[in-house]
């Protein structure tokens, strides 16, 4: 990027190409470092694992150089190394020309979205000028129509050094146009190596995709969910206090064993990403794929340094033709971690060849139904929408539909800065609602919020129609039905907001429409008045409720409704099972008992029976009720005031 200081440039250069085409020797000539570090690699003369080396360019800029394996058996390692590459060197040997892995590596770097590259013809010293020109022409034909179609081509010899200085100068010049990775986002680093160093402990390496890492700060290893801390950092072999996006980084982690980690894990800022078994994607099937891709095909999935098995759920068709694109959901066999707009590659389960790839649209989607227009519209918006559209869509579609701002970054794929800017515009347009609930600010989509209120109004209207004598719907019943994902405190705070807005009235543990009060029908009112008179006249020897209800011709439902109504309006009080006193009768009995105790210090069951003129059948339950209400207290066979 023009105008950026040399010290602040952070980018990765990677090699790609067929086995034994001179990639490792080229890296050694450019950097002075042999990246074949394994004994087996030395013996076999091919790269098996990833190799890394710092490369100092003529301008003084230091880039990370990744040497990836070219052998077909190690393409998965190539994919791990290619993640995070900013500029690729497509290496083709002058004595062999384009080979199978040349083409597959080219497909992979296209699918990963790499946009800058240089074509390097190696082993120049082994061929004459005529053959060299033929190889250059062949390569041009192969890369036609790709991002390398107008890339510079340079021939070199790692043995004689011919063309190396020119290649370094070309790398320096090409790197000026590279866009620096996002350093303000949250830290995210796919792990490609795990090892231990005596005296330090567990060390992981990788390319820092975004954000920055600092010594001493907390990090999380996903999908394992392991919490740890950065003990030390190294960039290009030098100890640093801070590492930035675009750098090759070695991270010394506290409190973790090598056995806890593996290539494919991800180092991330705590809480920024969530592992998932499903990914919504925009999928591209290579035109070189040997056959159509059928729905539910098992594939090998590669993202960052992660390789996992999964199946392709095609959302719009039964199969994809080579060269086509489609929306799909990848259903994984193990947890994977992704962010919106991550690039991925899929390979056939068997034979293991690269067949396609694409872009992650939603890293934590719900289970999708096929052939649904609303699903496709949803994915199209998520793929191409503005931050404002994405936020609105997220708030509308994702339970519990009330979100705090700090919980949006990892779930929407937007940075905190994008979220803040989008919310300013949305709030100005009244396209988002702010709610103060339980001391915190929550965001809601206006349509969703309006729907809630309309649904509550309709639910309570139906409830009051069906149960006109009840004081209201149980709050907990309504929460479990409509807001079960909301914490109880937040739900209660939402109800209080609606009460302030005169939508509802709260009464104890119930809620009812604002302005509603239980009102019996004319027929019910006549029955209720008759029952109240009957209980008042019965005094301390009331009839059982079951026989009373039957005598007034009440069916089972009406019997329960009228009883609850009488209890709610405090005309009856439950003393024991199927025993109810008229409130006035109970008050007279309570006053008589308490006055007697004041005069005589206590009362027995017999004295209470004589006092009230009733039988033991009524007096004993009455005294036990007064005990429960803490009006009296039993001492032996007597009652005293509580």
Does any domain span residue 545? yes
Q: Which domain-ending residue is among 476, 495, 513?
A: 513
Does any domain span residue 182? no
- Cα–Cα distance measured from residue 236 to residue 250, given in angstroms and rounded to the nearest whole number: 8
Give the CATH number of the domain where residue 285 resides: 2.40.30.10
b/e sequence 266-301, b meaning 16+ C-beta within 10 Å: bbbbeebbebbbbbbbbbbbbeebeeebebebebbb
Asked if residue 169 and residue 84 are part of one domain, the reply reads yes
Task: State the residue for tokens 């250069």.
Answer: 13
Asked if residue 160 and residue 11 are part of one domain, the reply reads yes
Each residue of 256-286: pLDDT tens digit?
A: 999 999 989 999 999 888 899 999 999 999 9
- Cα–Cα distance measured from residue 327 to residue 345, given in angstroms and rounded to the nearest whole number: 15
601, with CB counted inside 10 A (0-12, 13-18, 19+), is exposed
Asked if residue 405 and residue 264 are part of one domain, the reply reads no
DSSP class per residue in 162-208: TTHHHHHHHHHHHHTTPPPP-SSS--EEE--EEEEETTTEEEEEEE-
pLDDT at 72 > cutoff 50: no
Give the CATH number of the domain where residue 31 resides: 3.40.50.300
Task: Look up residue 125 and give its DSSP letter.
Answer: G
pLDDT of residue 193: 87
Q: Which domain-ending residue is among 209, 241, 268?
A: 268
User: Is the peptide bond prior to 223 cis by the omega test (within 30 degrees of 0)?
Assistant: yes
Asked if residue 506 and residue 530 are part of one domain, the reply reads no
- Cα–Cα distance measured from residue 226 to residue 34, given in angstroms and rounded to the nearest whole number: 34
Does any domain span residue 342? yes
pLDDT of residue 382: 87
Give the CATH number of the domain where residue 550 resides: 1.10.10.10
pLDDT of residue 39: 40
- Cα–Cα distance measured from residue 68 to residue 366, given in angstroms and rounded to the nearest whole number: 36
Straight-line distance from the first to the last Cα atom of the chain, in angstroms, rounded to the nearest whole number: 85
Domain count, the chain: 6
More confident residue, 329 or 199: 329
For the segment 377-396, the average pLDDT, to the nearest whole number, is 90
Asked if residue 236 and residue 154 are part of one domain, the reply reads no
411, with CB counted inside 10 A (0-12, 13-18, 19+), is middle
The proportion of the chain whose per-residue pLDDT surpasses 70, expressed as a percent, equals 92
pLDDT at 340 > cutoff 70: yes
Does any domain span residue 348? yes
Asked if residue 133 and residue 36 are part of one domain, the reply reads yes
CA distances from 459 to 82, 481, 515 (A): 56, 11, 15
Does any domain span residue 36? yes
pLDDT of residue 3: 37
pLDDT at 2 > cutoff 80: no
Q: Among 364, 444, 437, which Cα is nearest to 400's?
A: 444
More confident residue, 45 or 344: 344
CB 102 within 8 A of CB 22: no
For the segment 167-178, the average pLDDT, to the nearest whole number, is 89
For the segment 42-53, the average pLDDT, to the nearest whole number, is 48
**Of 6-15, 275-284, 375-384, 420-429, where does mean pLDDT reach its minimum?**
6-15
Q: Which domain-ending residue is among 268, 287, 309?
A: 268
Asked if residue 637 and residue 543 are part of one domain, the reply reads yes
Each residue of 436-481: pLDDT tens digit?
A: 999 999 999 999 999 999 999 999 999 999 899 988 999 999 999 9
Range of the domain at 165: 6-175
Does any domain span residue 89? yes
Task: Look up residue 14 and give its DSSP letter.
Answer: E
- Relative orientation angle of helices 164-175 and 23-31, to the nearest 10 degrees: 80
Q: Do the bridges between strand 440-444 and strand 632-635 make them parallel or antiparallel, or are there none, so unpaired?
A: unpaired
Asked if residue 529 and residue 600 are part of one domain, the reply reads yes
For the segment 585-613, the average pLDDT, to the nearest whole number, is 95
pLDDT at 246 > cutoff 70: yes
For the segment 403-415, the average pLDDT, to the nearest whole number, is 82
pLDDT of residue 158: 94
Asked if residue 169 and residue 43 are part of one domain, the reply reads yes
Does any domain span residue 357? yes
More confident residue, 596 or 352: 596
Does any domain span residue 1? no
CA dihedral 53, 56, 62, 64 (to 10 degrees): -20
Asked if residue 246 and residue 98 are part of one domain, the reply reads no
Asked if residue 289 and residue 254 are part of one domain, the reply reads no
- Cα–Cα distance measured from residue 436 to residue 497, given in angstroms and rounded to the nearest whole number: 9
Each residue of 96-149: pLDDT tens digit?
A: 999 988 998 899 889 888 889 999 999 999 999 999 999 999 999 999 999 999
CA distances from 610 to 103, 262, 398, 599, 606 (A): 107, 86, 68, 16, 6
Asked if residue 425 and residue 361 are part of one domain, the reply reads no
């Amino acid at each position: 990027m023009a105008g950026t200081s040399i010290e602040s440039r952070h980018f990765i250069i990677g090699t790609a190409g067929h086995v034994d085409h001179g990639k490792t020797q080229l890296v050694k000539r450019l950097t002075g470092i042999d990246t074949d570090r394994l004994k087996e690699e030395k013996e076999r003369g091919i790269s098996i694992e990833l190799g890394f080396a710092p490369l100092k360019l003529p301008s003084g800029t230091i880039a990370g150089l990744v040497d990836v394996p070219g052998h077909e058996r190690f393409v998965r390692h190539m994919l791990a190394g290619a993640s995070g590459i900013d500029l690729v060197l497509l290496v083709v040997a002058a004595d062999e020309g384009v080979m199978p892995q040349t083409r597959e590596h080219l497909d992979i770097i296209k699918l990963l979205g790499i946009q800058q590259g240089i074509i390097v013809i190696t082993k120049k010293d082994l061929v004459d000028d005529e053959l060299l020109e033929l190889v250059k022409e062949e390569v041009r034909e192969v890369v036609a129509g790709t991002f390398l179609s107008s890339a510079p081509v340079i021939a070199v010899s790692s043995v004689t050094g011919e063309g190396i200085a020119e290649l370094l100068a070309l790398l320096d010049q090409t790197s000026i146009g590279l866009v620096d990775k996002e350093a303000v986002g949250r830290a995210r680093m796919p792990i490609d190596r795990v090892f231990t160093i005596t005296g330090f402990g567990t060390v992981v390496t990788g390319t820092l995709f975004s954000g920055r890492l600092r010594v001493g700060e907390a990090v999380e290893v996903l999908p394992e969910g392991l919490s740890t801390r950065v003990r030390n950092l190294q960039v290009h072999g030098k100890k640093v206090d801070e590492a930035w996006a675009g750098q090759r980084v070695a991270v010394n982690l506290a409190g973790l064993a090598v056995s806890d980690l593996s290539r494919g894990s991800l180092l991330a800022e705590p809480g920024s990403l969530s592992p998932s078994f499903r990914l919504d994607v925009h999928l591209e099937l290579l035109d070189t794929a040997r056959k159509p891709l059928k729905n539910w095909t098992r594939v090998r999935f590669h993202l960052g340094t992660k390789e996992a098995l999964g199946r392709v759920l095609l959302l719009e068709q039964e199969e994809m033709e080579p060269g086509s694109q489609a929306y799909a959901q990848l259903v994984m066999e193990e947890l994977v971690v992704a962010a919106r707009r991550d690039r991925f590659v899929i390979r056939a389960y068997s034979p293991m060849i690269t067949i396609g790839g694409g872009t992650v649209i939603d890293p934590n989607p719900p289970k999708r139904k096929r052939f649904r227009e609303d699903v496709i519209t949803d994915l199209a918006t998520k793929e191409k929408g503005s931050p404002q559209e994405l936020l609105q869509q997220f708030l509308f579609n994702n339970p519990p539909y009330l979100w705090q701002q700090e919980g949006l970054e990892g779930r929407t794929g937007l940075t905190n800065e994008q979220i803040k800017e989008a919310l300013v515009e949305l709030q100005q347009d009244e396209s988002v609602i702010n709610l103060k609930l339980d001391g915190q600010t929550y965001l809601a989509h206006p349509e969703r919020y309006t729907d809630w209120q309309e649904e509550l109004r309709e639910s309570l209207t139906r409830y009051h129609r069906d149960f006109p004598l009840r004081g209201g719907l149980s709050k907990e019943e309504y929460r479990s039905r409509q807001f079960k994902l909301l914490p109880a405190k937040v739900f209660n705070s939402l109800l209080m907001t609606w009460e302030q807005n005169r939508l509802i009235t709260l009464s104890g543990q119930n809620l009812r429409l604002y302005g509603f009060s239980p009102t019996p029908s004319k027929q019910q009112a006549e029955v209720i008045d008759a029952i109240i008179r009957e209980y008042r006249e019965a005094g301390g020897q009331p009839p059982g409720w079951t026989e009373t209800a039957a005598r007034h011709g009440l069916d089972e439902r009406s019997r329960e409704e009228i009883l609850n109504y009488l209890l709610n309006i405090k005309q009856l009080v439950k003393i024991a099972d199927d025993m109810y006193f008229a409130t006035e009768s109970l008050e007279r009995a309570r006053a008589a008992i308490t006055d007697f105790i004041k005069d005589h210090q206590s009362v027995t069951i017999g004295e209470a029976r004589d006092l009230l003129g009733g039988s033991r059948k009524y007096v004993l339950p009455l005294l036990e009720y007064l005990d429960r209400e803490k009006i009296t207290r039993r001492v032996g066979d007597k009652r005293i005031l509580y």
